[in-house]
Structure 1
């Protein structure tokens, strides 16, 4: 069983990832919060691409923040148990730079999601992130909206 102080510290790590790293673009936070062997389980199947280590997460943050430089996150809910922290969030930012081949529109985009982080020794070692990628891709014009939904 994990003690209350460790669970509180782990929840703070989950908040800092969204608010300081992704939301404020403080890339140095990645070195503080992510283990060198960190793996973000993105994509499908065992051969899917992976974000690895603090440098990998910095690249992902830079990609998003170059397209949405005023990106902000709001933590909606958090739960922590054992070595896992789940954070439900809402994000928004103005589409001011190219993103995955889409030209910027100057429009505000919004999406929601959840991070599940495994924390060991005060560092994130694994993440599983699910966010409403369809809504994001529709808002930047890469996927047409579905009528009637």
Structure 2
């Protein structure tokens, strides 16, 4: 697929992560996709792995939303800079809810095949997030 097609699929991916719509995610994420998350020693896999990542984030920040700030794409790869925003109303990494609003930057790298995401390396600013919730 073309770079433009991958960018279009990525726009749909943003809708998926902001809604946690598993049906949409199944259309965008390849069955054997690998997701490297900084909080997990082993990669998460497939739609269920990504749903687990979203569930972990939504457990602490039920209203979390991701906004794309910048996208750079070449060939089958895409880099995206996001801002994650939400309110800390649930426990997160053992920190009880503070009610604090967060705005955290993340830079993630994706690889596509046949119009679907097959790999992600997530790089959120976890230190900045923890600082904002008092951790």
Normalised by the size of structure 2, how large is the TM-score?
0.90
Larger Rg: 1
Q: Counterparts of 1:1-149 in structure 2 under 5 Å?
A: 6-18=2-14, 20-43=15-38, 48-142=41-135
CA contact (8 A) 2:83 2:103 kept: yes
Q: How many residues align?
A: 135
More moved, 35-44 vs 96-105:
35-44
Moved beyond 3 Å, runs of 4+:
none
Structure 2 gaps of 5+ residues are none
1:72 is displaced (CA, Å) by 1.3
CA–CA separation in structure 2 for the residues paired with 1:43 and 1:112: 14
Offset from partner CA, 1:1-30 (integer Å, 9 cap, x none): x7xxx2112112223323x22222223222
1:124 is displaced (CA, Å) by 0.7
- Structure 1 or 2: larger strand share? 2
CA contact (8 A) 1:90 1:111 kept: yes
CA–CA separation in structure 2 for the residues paired with 1:43 and 1:132: 10
Root-mean-square deviation (Å) = 1.9
